[in-house]
Structure 1
Amino acid sequence: MQPYKKLFTYWFAVIIYDLTVDFTKSYIKSFKLKEQMDGAARSGKQNIVEGSEGMQTSLKSAIKLTGVAKASFEELIGDLEDYLRQNNLKQFPKNNPKIEIFRQKAAVLIKKLSDFYKNESLVRNLSNLSYLEKYFNTSSVEEKVNLLLTLCHQETFLLNKQVLSLEEKHKTEGGLTEKLYKARVQHRGY
């Protein structure tokens, strides 16, 4: 079993990555910018996977990789905000009814995915981007960018909490080196 598939942050990252690739394919003319935006979304997702897997041997690595994932999504936020500004589109305020609907729908979908990730049909629907667009009901490019921004903001919020939680765990339980040293001392009896 892949433990990262239980993380909300992983499923946010999957959705953000898929929607970013779809968005850049349709709306970004610059190949370099498209690659950067796709790369930031992919990097965020992959660093969550690596951080989760790395936690088995090094909590310190997990903290670093989760922080890198957060930074990748922050980079994507900057690119999306630039896109809105450069195309004279509005960034919806946090309290915009559409943003609140996006956040609620994302929370429901993410919870389902993390609880039932073995449900192949639900996971398969994720790669069907028209399913996500219908699910979130985005009709304009402005709404699509604001949806991505909303998801990225939720993701960075959760990743920040994840980093703080990992740091607390490291503080209370120690890292691998400390655990190995303690085991060696106990084995030697002094």
Structure 2
Amino acid sequence: MSEPPQDSKDPGRLRPSGGYRKLRAFQTTSVIYDATTFFCEKFIRSHKLADQLIGAARSGRQNIGEGSRASAVSAESEVKLVQVARSSQDELLLDYEDFLRQKKHRQWHKNDPEAMEVRNIAKRPGNAPLEYADYAKWLDHEDPAQRANCLICLIHQANYLLDRLLLRLEQDIIKGGGYREQLTAARLAERDRQAGRPVVPAADTPNCPKCNKAMRLRTAKQGGNAGSQFWGCSGYPECKGTRKYQAGASDRPDRPDQADQADPTQVT
């Protein structure tokens, strides 16, 4: 149950966005949303409870899509929206557990044959998209316990995928900064390009050790180091933080030199 590669990136944009329909988390929550709607229409008499169940299921799906689109201009917004989706799934999980308990139905254990059969559908080879039809055996069953138990399995899978997605998004912010930091680095790089100064890719531009702002490659104009390059804080003169510059080496503390990197492999 691995998430696909990063969302597509428009060549004209700083950050990737969209592509959420390929996410297993989005596909799984889409099945949950549809199945919850049908479940409520058939088995839930309380309009208030039905609205709560459908609303939580819808929130799980819609916030993944909205967060993916928001990532183009705000990494933090994407994290918040995905976290809302994760919380909605927890709310939905509790409601289905309550239904089984209050109706005296048995809840499947995670290692029961039925639960394992549901889980294994997402493990099939080829990474084919998940659809409602894949789970119709349970989700269209006349027994509400079959439907609720299948949905509980799907919610657990969705939660696992959303937790992984949140971890990846947080690590992306730690390593690459948020939208505002990337925009600042791109603006400074364009200034350097127009002035004829060497431009270092934003991914290799370090942050200031004093204020954590993006740094700029500068050239000393006087003193014993006149003519040599160094990293200076983009917040100068308010901040006078500097770092040594070594041509051909990565200056990001979280990025080793290219010569020290092993060939990357994709883990699924």
| Matched residue, 1:166 | 169
Please state how far the C-alpha of 1:142 moved relative to its aligned partner: 1.2
CA deviation map 1:76-111 (0-9, x unaligned): 001001101110111111110100001112444993
Larger relative helix fraction: 1
Q: Distance in 2 between matches of 1:52 and 1:107?
A: 24
RMSD: 2.3
The residue identity in structure 2 corresponding to 1:52 is S
Residue from 116, 125, 128 that aligns with 1:112: 128
| Matched residue, 1:66 | 82
The residue identity in structure 2 corresponding to 1:148 is L
1:12–1:110 contact (8 Å) kept in structure 2: no
Query: Could you state the TM-score of these two structures normalised by the residue count of structure 2?
Result: 0.61
Please state how far the C-alpha of 1:28 moved relative to its aligned partner: 0.7
Please state how far the C-alpha of 1:158 moved relative to its aligned partner: 0.6
The yes-or-no answer on 1:33 pairing with 2:36 is no
Q: Distance in 2 between matches of 1:170 and 1:100?
A: 35
The residue identity in structure 2 corresponding to 1:49 is G
1:80–1:149 contact (8 Å) kept in structure 2: yes
The yes-or-no answer on 1:187 pairing with 2:190 is yes
Partner SS state of residue 153, structure 1:
helix
The residue identity in structure 2 corresponding to 1:48 is I
Pair member with larger Rg: 2
| Matched residue, 1:119 | none
The residue identity in structure 2 corresponding to 1:164 is L
Higher RCO, Cα 8 Å, sep 6+:
1
Q: Distance in 1 between matches of 2:142 and 2:128?
A: 24
Q: 1:65 to 1:182 in 2, by over 3 A?
A: same
1:102–1:150 contact (8 Å) kept in structure 2: yes
Q: Distance in 1 between matches of 2:127 and 2:138?
A: 15
Please state how far the C-alpha of 1:187 moved relative to its aligned partner: 3.5
How many pairs were matched up?
177
| Matched residue, 2:228 | none
The yes-or-no answer on 1:150 pairing with 2:153 is yes
Please state how far the C-alpha of 1:133 moved relative to its aligned partner: 2.0
1:70–1:159 contact (8 Å) kept in structure 2: yes
Residue from 38, 52, 56 that aligns with 1:22: 38
Give unmatched runs, 5+ long, in structure 1: 115-122
1:102–1:136 contact (8 Å) kept in structure 2: no
Q: Distance in 1 between matches of 2:63 and 2:139?
A: 26
The yes-or-no answer on 1:46 pairing with 2:49 is no
List structure 1 segments (4+ residues) > 6 angstroms apart after TM superposition: none
CA deviation map 1:136-172 (0-9, x unaligned): 7845221111100000000011100100010001100
Query: Could you state the TM-score of these two structures normalised by the residue count of structure 1?
Result: 0.85
